[in-house]
Amino acid sequence: MAAAAELKLLEKSLGLSKGNKYSAQGERQIPVLQTNNGPSLTGLTTIATHLVKEANKEYLLGSTAEEKATVQQWLEYRVTRVDGHSNKEDIHTLLKDLNLYLEDKVYLTGYNFTLADILLYYGLHRFICPLVWLLITPVTQCFSSSDFTSR
């Protein structure tokens, strides 16, 4: 349940103290957040956006209409393009496009650091730096049941 680990990390960096409970849904292990007041929330970017609001750090979602739409656009990009099963060729195109886009920018929205930067960073780690990915993947996922047999 890698998405839950990612959300835990996000909670930490947002300074949220109370630990939320996450479960995972379906084959793609989409994260689900159980909230005390109201229905559960489903989906990585939906939950991440919610956490940012909970931490009173709305500025991370952009301040103008343009910024807000841009942040959400890159969040969508993260879950559709970056998380999609990409082959090497696709990953190469994706990195090339991002590189070109960022040539004249500091962050994805220009000069302001936002949630989009955080989640895209996490997402890209998977192919840029497999070791870090391994670190944020919970231990249970690294143990397959065949390890268990050989014990």
Which range binds another protein by CB under 8 A, 6-14, 21-29, 117-125? Answer: 21-29
CA-to-CA distance for 73 and 62, rounded, in angstroms?
Answer: 12
Q: Which is nearer to another protein, 70 or 112 (CB)?
A: 70
20 contributes a contact to another protein by CB under 8 A = no
**Look-up of token digits 């910024």:** 67
Q: Beta 30-33 vs 22-25: how paired, if at all?
A: antiparallel
- Pick between residue 9 and residue 134 the one whose CB is nearest to another protein: 134
| Cβ-based burial of 47 (10 A; exposed 0-12, middle 13-18, buried ≥19) | buried
Please say which residue, 5 or 79, places its beta carbon nearer to another protein: 79
49: tokens are: 């956006």
Say which amino acid occupies 133: W
Contact 142, 29 (CB under 8 A): no
Q: How many CB atoms lie within 10 A of CB 8?
A: 16
Closest CA to 120 of 58, 55, 54, 76: 76
Exactly one of 25, 106, 121, 129 binds another protein (CB under 8 A); that residue is: 25
Among the listed residues 46, 55, 57, 136, the single contact to another protein using CB under 8 A: 46
Smallest gap, in angstroms, from Cβ of residue 118 to another protein? 16
Tell me which of 11, 77, 118, 120 binds another protein, using CB under 8 A. Answer: 77
Q: Which residues bind another protein (CB under 8 A)?
A: 21, 23, 25-27, 29-30, 32, 34, 40-46, 49-50, 61, 65-66, 68-70, 72-73, 76-77, 79-80, 85, 89, 93, 96-97, 100-101, 140-141, 143-146, 148-149, 151
